[in-house]
Amino acid sequence: MNKNKQKWTPSFIKNIAEKREEKRREKRRKRLIKFLSFGVLLFISIIGLIVAGITENNQEKSEASLTKEVETISVEQKEDTTPLSIERVISASEEKEPLAEEPVLELKVHFIDVGQGDCTLVESKGETLLIDAGPDDVGTKIQKYLMDEGITKIDYFVLTHPDSDHIGSADVVVTKFDIGKIYMSSFIKDNKYYHDMLDAFAYKNLKWTIPKEGDSFEVGDAHVSIVHSKEYEDPNNSSLVIKVTCGETSFLFAGDAEATAEKDMVEQNADLSATVYHVSHHGSYTSSTQDFLDRVKPEYAVISCAKDNAYGHPHQETLDTLKARNISLFRIDLQGGIIAFSDGKGIEWSVAAAKNYEGGDSELEKKIKEEQFIAIGNKSQDNSETTRTMPDDKKEEKNPTTDSDSKKGKTSSDAGNKNQNGSDQKDDKSNPDSSNVAYIGNRSKHKLHRADCKGKLPAEYNRDYFNSLDEAVAAGYTKENQCKNCYPFGK
C-alpha cells in the first residue's frame, strides 16, 4: 500500500531544494536578459535621437545661409527688372559695388564776330566771363548776341587793355547787363571810349580791380588765372593775359600783347601752355614770337579781326608761323563767329578749321618801320591816345592834358635835330619849322591832329609835321580818320 510513497529522506529533501533553486536562477536569468535587451534598445534610441537632432540643426543652418544669400542677391538686383541670364545670377553675388561716375565738365567759348576788335564770351554751368567788348559800333550786336544766348548777367568782365577796339562797346555791355566783378589793365587812355566806359561804371555804381599775376577765380567748371599784368609804356604790351582751364583743356587770351611782353612772360617762366591760343594783336607780325609759341604749344589758334581791315591783319608772317607748326586755324574774318566746346578732355568746334593761310601786310604798320617779325619794343597802333598809368590812390592824379601841352613845344622844336635812332632827319615832314607847324600826323594810325590839340599827341618818333592842311592831304591824311578831339578837317 505504501510502495510508491517517497520517503522524506535527507537526500530527497536536498534534491527538491536544488530543483527549486535552479528554477529561481532561470527566472532571474530571463529577467536579466529582458532588462539588458531594453537597455540596448533604449541606448540605440537615444543615439538615434542625438544624431537626428544634429542633422536637423545643420540642415536649419544651411537653409538659413541659403536664404540669406538669396536675399542678398535679390537686394542687389532689386532695381534691375530685366531678365537675368544664368551667368548673371551666378556672378551677381560676386559683383562689387560700382564706382561713382566722374562728373561731366562743360565749357563753351564764343569768339564773337565784332569786326576789327575782340570780344569773347566764356560760359560754364550758368556762370559767365566776357573778355573785351569790341569797337564802339558793335554794342547793339554784342547785346543781341548775349541775349540770344540767354545771358542776363556777366559774372566777370575782363578788359585786357584800353584800345578802342577792345573797350569801345564796354559802356553798352555795362549799361544793359548785370555785372559782377570787373578786371582791367592799369594802363589808362584819355579818349572818348575810355571816358564813356568810366561813365557807365559810375552810372551802375561799379568798381574795377587791377589784378595781380597769379590771381584767379572760377567760372563754373573753368579755372581762370591771370598770367601777366605787367605795365609798360604802351597799351598793347600792358594787356592782361589770362588762361582759362577746364579739365585737360585750356585757352590762352593775350589781348594785344606784343614781342616785349611775350619775351618777359617767357623769361618769367609763366604757365603759357594752352590747347587753344587766341592769337594776340589780331594776328599782327608784332606778336606771336617763336619763343612765345614754343611755350604755348597750341593745337588750335583763333584770330579775331575784320575782313580786309586797314591794318592788313592777320599778317602773312604770323600765318606762316602757325602753318609751319601744324596749328589748326580758325579765322573770324573768313568764317564769322566761332564757338568751341570743351568737356574737359577734348574740344569740338562749331565750324571746320580754315584752310586759308593767306594773310596781308599793313601799309600803316610798315610806316612804323618795324620790318622784323620779332621786334622788341614794338609800338602800339593806337599811340595817339596814350596818356598815363593808373595813379596811386595816395597821390593826386595828374592832368593828362597838362602833360601833353607841356611836352608839345619841346617835341616840335627838337624834332628836327635827331630821330628815334639818333640820326639826322632828312624828311621835311619830320623836320619842320616849329613856328609854322599847324598839324601833327600820327604815322602809325594815319590820324591827323591840330598842333594845339588838347588830346594826347603821338610819340615823337611817330609824328609827321605839316604847315598846312593841303600838305597833310597830299601825304594821305583824310577827314574820315581825323582826331575827334580837335577836328582838323572840321566836324
**237-290 per-position pLDDT tens digit:** 999 999 999 999 999 999 999 999 999 999 999 999 999 999 999 999 999 999
Residue partners of 266: CB distance under 8 A and separation at least 6: 272, 291, 292, 294, 295
200: how many CB neighbours lie within 10 A of its CB?
18
Q: How many CA atoms lie within 13 A of 61 on its CB side?
A: 6
**Whether the model pTM is above 0.75:** no
What local confidence, expressed as pLDDT, does residue 326 receive? 96
3-class state of residue 455 by DSSP: coil
Residue 332 in grid coordinates: 573770324
**Bridge pairing between strands 222-228 and 241-246:** antiparallel
The CA-based angle 210-212-214, given to 5 degrees, is 145
Rounded to the nearest angstrom, the gap between the alpha carbon of residue 404 and the centroid of all alpha carbons in its chain is: 41
Single-letter amino acid code for the residue at 162: P
Which residues of the chain form CATH 3.40.10? Answer: 399-481
Which residues of the chain form CATH 3.60.15.10? Answer: 107-366
What local confidence, expressed as pLDDT, does residue 413 receive? 32
CA distances from 36 to 22, 27, 40, 48, 250 (A): 21, 14, 6, 18, 99
Backbone angles phi, psi at 193, to 5 degrees: -65, -40
Evaluate whether 249 touches 346 at the Cβ level (below 8 Å).
Answer: yes
Q: How many angstroms separate the CA atoms of 322 and 298, rounded?
A: 9
The fold of the 399-481 domain, in CATH, is: DNA Methylphosphotriester Repair Domain (3.40.10)
Residue 107 in grid coordinates: 565749357
Q: How many angstroms separate the CA atoms of 76 and 68, rounded?
A: 12
**Which residues of the chain carry a pLDDT beneath 70?**
1-14, 55-100, 362-435, 461
What local confidence, expressed as pLDDT, does residue 470 receive? 85
Single-letter amino acid code for the residue at 211: P
Residue partners of 194: CB distance under 8 A and separation at least 6: 162, 167, 188, 385
CATH number at 107-366: 3.60.15.10
Q: How many angstroms separate the CA atoms of 44 and 60, rounded?
A: 24
Residue 91 in grid coordinates: 556672378
Which strands sit side by side in the sheet containing 439-442, from one edge to the other? 447-450, 439-442, 463-466
Residues forming a β-bridge with 123: 108, 128
Evaluate whether 315 touches 283 at the Cβ level (below 8 Å).
Answer: yes
The CA-based angle 181-182-188, given to 5 degrees, is 160
What local confidence, expressed as pLDDT, does residue 484 receive? 85
What local confidence, expressed as pLDDT, does residue 221 receive? 95
CA dihedral 197→198→203→205, nearest 10 degrees, is 120
Backbone angles phi, psi at 300, to 5 degrees: -130, 150
Q: Find the distance separating the first CA and the last CA of the chain, reported in whole Å.
A: 193
